[in-house]
Structure 1
Amino acid sequence: MSYQLLDYKHYQRHEVTFVNVESDDRKSLIDDEVEEKKITANVCWAGFNLINSILGTGMIGLPYSMRLAGFPLGLLLLIGVAYVTDYSIILLIKGGSMSGTNTYQSLVSKMFGFPGYLLLSVFQFLYPFAAMISYNIVTGDILPKIIQRIPGVSPESWYVDRRVLIVLTTAVITLPIALYRNMEKLGKVSLLSLLLTFTVLVIIIVRASSLTSEIPHTEDAWVFAKPNVMQAVGVMSFVFMCHHACFLIYGSLEKATVSNWSRITHVSMLLSLFISLQYSVFGYVSFTGFTQGDLFENYCREDNLATIGRFCYAITIILTYPMECFVAREVISNVFFGGNLSYTLHFAVTFAVVSLTTAFSLVYDCLGMFLELNGILSATPLVFIIPPACYLKLSEKPWYHLDNAIPLLILLLGMVIMPVGFLMAILYPQECSHGSEMFYCLSTNSTLLNITSESFYRMTLISLTGKGN
């Protein structure tokens, strides 16, 4: 009897132990599954944030880069710039991991000291500063055409003048938002910005199906290469530049490893490249040699679908401009004021930056020029030169080693693109429409298809230069 009781108690203890082990195992499995789902969601959001930082407002300038480089070569260059961006982003994070740094500034400072930090700060200021000028130029291009679609509004009205609208938009909307000290709330609208970018793409694709048969193609529309290749690379670099956000996104990962980051970067860059190719192809084939730096300048004022696209793009710009101002202000704050700005200095710096960008956009109205110069002078060193330079300095192998061949090649490419592209942009500036309607918007459908070569050439000159001879 006592034996049976002991045996029963032993069995009972064994059963309880077994149940506890089984319960612990089940809990462990559930916890692992929840943790895996959290990590997957975290990776997805990191990829989304990286895509969103690439697919910015510069996308509208990609068709213009096809016009500069030649359509076939332009597509190849776009793929090449996407590859270089992908590679340099990974190099940047590798460099941070190897040096024990977690920001772009600290990495460059550790590698090249204060002079390197200062040079990086100049590039990091110029990029958002020129982007803000570009956004104001686009505002001046888009808003007059939107307002003129309102019944009863005359094209001669003072309030549809591009300069008036730029000043009003800056004073009433962008400057007050840019004065916020914290951009976190504004950052939550990034999803809206991305959705609007897709909406604009759909409109471009839909209009391409009809415009390709209505608008005559220029004679050099399909040549393989054109002389302005370096400027085209500058525009593409401007679009793909996202290095300023990489360390922030990398730091948000649950498992922040270089291999994990590499996978996220590859997928994000492939998706971004696919969308960029859609913008480039459908935007360029619609207008070929007439393609402007601001693609919406090519669409006629009476085009209702294009008006919707302009409206979506205008919202995107208004949401993005204050973010760029925040970056430019932070650079000034870190370099000159130790990262701390009093309320008075905060207002003064913000007002000065916004005023300067507004002044530039009132004087110049050709978006293409600013896309070229910003890409060449700011994006090219941030994408092509600095990340591989940091990696090569950190590498234990000599610079001529085979493992360092690609970083060295990218570095040399950047050192060629930057000076040559700048000289080409200055010596051979591209003309723009200056807000005027394109000739095909002024022609009736019956005459559009019966254009003689002489009148075609004359109208091309009028559209692009404003001169008839």
Structure 2
Amino acid sequence: MELQKMNGHSRDDGFDELAEHEEFLPHKAGAKKETHFTDFEGKTSFGMSIFNLSNAIMGSGILGLAYAMSNTGIILFILLLICIAILSAYSIHLLLKSAGVVGIRAYEQLGNRAFGPPGKVLAAVIITIHNIGAMSSYLFIVKSELPLVIQAFLSKHENTGEWYLNGNYLIIIVSALIILPLALMRQLGYLGYTSGFSLSCMVFFLISVIYKRFNIACPFGDDHHNQTSFHDHVHINATDDQCEAKMFTVNSQTAYTIPILAFAFVCHPEVLPIYTELRDATKKRMQGVANISIMAMFVMYLLTALFGYLTFYGNVESELLHTYSRVDPLDVLVLCVRLAVLVAVTLTVPVVLFPIRRALLQILFADKPFSWAIHIGIAFCLLFLVNLLVILVPSIRDIFGLIGATSAPSLIFILPGIFYIRIVPEEQEPLLSRTKITAACFAALGFVFMVMSLSFIIIDWSTGESRSGGGH
């Protein structure tokens, strides 16, 4: 029906805007139109939308970027970061262009328009798997870090087994008292305030990293290497020139850098829900939200990686905060930064939960009106599942590394590219047009990333080595 309506319009430069106003914005009183799942007037401001999308981009992977820089060198890292940021912005452009053509702002409905019900199910499954993995990684940080923060505030030198130092109990309490109430909000836009506070915590983390660069002298000596590690995976890159910055370098861990950076910019499941709730929504306005968010995260990622690397050089570990703790376990500033990072990842979980709930609604309850019982039930079941995974699965990094290696390239590269090729009519853009060929190459690049990431993980598993760095 929608494509028939569109075929009646001339294919000029104003086509997308015309389609958007016909499908996205509320009609005049008395106008007849088919009701879509996402049809309502957006009320979220431009600034709040930037906060939400930036918070969706920002992930636990920021803690591993300094380590990634140590494995590539400064210049190569910057070049890779620029490329991934540009590719991520282009990917969002393809999503928004596809959404503008068919008047849909749900990732799953784009899959339905492109490939029918199988495409809808595929998109929903990939979004669900990826975001459950992301939520689990955030809660795993809470599980491992919050007991240490409480222990430090209570001046306890060791965990003596009290219930409030048990990470499993703590994630249940945090989920029930903080995450669940936020996840019950009906619209994602309301989380703009918590997203803003979460980003403020990460800015504090960045400022602390810059400050520490000028307060930690190199070389560090070997004393801190003998401290007991609180993490399963600790890597010290001891080299002969520990305090020399490398511009270009290649080692056994360099190949992980591209997947790590790609995962660090995954926000695509949240793009269309944020677009739906944007006030005065147009494709150009939403692209502006995406570009500003990506640029802000690019700056944060670059500065965190650069100053973290220039503090520890070859001694930087796969988790940056852990490196500071091993230099001085009683550092009050590092303790506060740990707490800020915990707050940031906790407040990110509800933002990541929204696209999963939307995907499940699209598959299971697409034709039903809004129901608070379904809304609350899905949020509760998702948090219950994620808590169960974090409690029961000991090697969660490896398991969700596998999920991330398949879902992240799909969401960033493969699905936006093939959706664009299938959805944009050939009379508007022929199959062999420059834009569709570019989209096809973009999707192919995603397959390359996926094969490469899976290969690295399988090689690590087969050799018994631990994957380093962090994903989104």
TM-score range, shorter chain: 0.7 to 0.9
Structure 1 position 162, deviation (Å): 5.2
Q: Residues of 1 paired with 2:179 and 2:60: CA distance?
A: 19
* Structure 1 residue 158, shift from structure 2 partner: 0.8
Query: Cα distance, 1:390 vs. partner?
Result: 1.6
> What is the CA-CA distance between 1:46 and the residue it aligns to?
4.3
Letter in 1 for 2:322: E
1:360 aligns to 2:389 (yes or no): yes
Q: Tell me which amino acid in the other structure corresponds to 1:269.
A: I
Q: Which has the larger radius of gyration?
A: 1
Could you say what secondary structure the match of 2:260 adopts?
A: helix
Given that residues 232 and 372 in structure 1 are in contact (C-alpha distance below 8 angstroms), is that contact kept between their aligned partners in structure 2? no
Counterpart position of 1:211: 216
Change in Cα spacing, 1:329 to 1:212, as seen in structure 2 (3 Å) is: farther
* Matching residue's letter, 1:416: V
- Work out whether 1:192 is the aligned partner of 2:183: no
Counterpart of 1:75 (choices 72, 78, 87) is: 78
Q: Is the 8 A contact 2:409 2:449 kept in 1?
A: yes
Tell me if the contact between 2:270 and 2:352 (Cα under 8 Å) persists in the aligned partners.
Answer: no
- Residue 95 of structure 1 deviates from its aligned partner by 1.1
1:265-298 superposed Cα distances (whole Å, 9 cap, x missing partner): 4344323212211122122333445544443222
- Tell me, which stretches of 5 or more residues in structure 2 are unaligned? 1-43, 222-236
Q: Residue 379 of structure 1 aligns with which residue? A: 408
The yes-or-no answer on 1:173 pairing with 2:177 is: yes
CA distance in 1, matches of 2:255, 2:103: 35
Alpha-carbon spacing, 1:296–1:162, altered in 2? closer, same or farther (3 Å): farther
Q: Distance in 2 between the 1:385 and 1:340 partners?
A: 32
Residues 266-305 of structure 1: pairs in structure 2 closer than 5 A: 266-288=291-313, 290-300=315-325, 301-305=329-333
Judged with a 3 Å threshold, the aligned counterparts in structure 2 of structure 1 residues 253 and 357 are, in CA distance, closer, same or farther, namely: closer
Residue number in structure 2 paired with 1:120: 123
Task: Return the letter of the residue paired with 1:204.
Answer: V
Alpha-carbon distance in structure 2 between the residues aligned to 1:224 and 1:408: 32
Q: 1:426 to 1:341 in 2, by over 3 A?
A: farther
Contact 1:373–1:425, Cα closer than 8 Å, also in 2:
yes
What is the CA–CA distance in structure 2 between the aligned matches of 1:361 and 1:369, rounded to whole Å? 13
TM-score, normalised by the number of residues in structure 1: 0.72
Q: Is the 8 Å Cα contact of residues 61 and 295 (structure 1) preserved in structure 2?
A: yes
Judged with a 3 Å threshold, the aligned counterparts in structure 2 of structure 1 residues 227 and 413 are, in CA distance, closer, same or farther, namely farther
Q: Which amino acid aligns with 2:218?
A: S
Preserved contact between residue 56 and residue 348 of structure 2 (Cα < 8 Å): no
2:65 to 55, 62, 65: 62
Query: Unpaired runs of 5+ in structure 1?
Result: 1-40, 434-469
Asked if the contact 1:174/1:321 (under 8 Å) is kept, the reply is no
The aligned amino acid for 1:282 is F
Mapped contact 1:91–1:391 kept (Cα < 8 A): yes
Deviations 1:321-367 (A, max 9, x none): 23333433443343234467977766665454334323332355667
- 1:318 equivalent to 2:346? Answer yes
Q: Which moved more, 1:225-234 or 1:278-287?
A: 225-234
1:329-348 mapped onto 2 (5 Å cutoff): 329-338=357-366
**CA–CA distance in 2 between the matches of 1:97 and 1:243?**
16
Q: Give matches, 1:121-270, under 5 Å.
A: 121-159=124-162, 161=165, 163-170=167-174, 172-174=176-178, 176-177=180-181, 180=184, 182=186, 185-211=190-216, 213-215=218-220, 218-219=238-239, 222=246, 223-228=248-253, 231-252=256-277, 256-270=281-295
Question: In the alignment, is the contact (CA less than 8 A) between 1:237 and 1:375 conserved in 2?
Answer: no
Identical residues among aligned pairs (%): 25
Q: For 2:213 and 2:279, how far apart are their aligned partners in 1?
A: 43
| 1:361-420 per-position Cα deviation (integer Å, ceiling 9, x unaligned) | 235566764674454222211111111112222263454443434322221110111122
Q: 1:426 and 2:458 equivalent? A: yes
Distance 1:148 1:310 in 2: 13
Residues paired across the two proteins, number = 393
| Superposed displacement of residue 421, structure 1 | 0.6
Cα distance in 2 for partners of 1:136, 1:345 equals 24
Deviates more, 1:41-50 or 1:389-398: 41-50
Partner of 1:90: 93
Code of the residue aligned with 1:284 in structure 2: it is Y
Shift of 1:230: 5.4
Q: Of the two structures, which has the highest relative contact order with CA contacts closer than 8 Å and spacing of 6 or more? A: 2
Q: 1:276 to 1:294 in 2, by over 3 A?
A: same
1:115 Cα deviation from its structure 2 partner: 0.8
- 3-state secondary structure, aligned to 1:189: helix
TM-superposed deviation, 1:93: 0.7
Compared CA separation, residues 95 and 342, structure 1 to 2 (3 A): closer
Q: Name the structure 2 match of 1:101.
A: 104
Answer yes or no: is the 8 Å Cα contact 1:234–1:374 preserved in 2: no
CA separation in 2, counterparts of 1:317 and 1:359? 18
Q: TM-score if structure 2 supplies the norm length?
A: 0.72
CA distance in 2, matches of 1:163, 1:263: 40
Q: 1:350 to 1:268 in 2, by over 3 A?
A: closer
How far, CA to CA, are the matches of 1:170 and 1:263 in structure 2? 34
* Deviates further, 81-90 or 263-272: 263-272
**Contact 1:293–1:368 under 8 Å retained in 2:** no
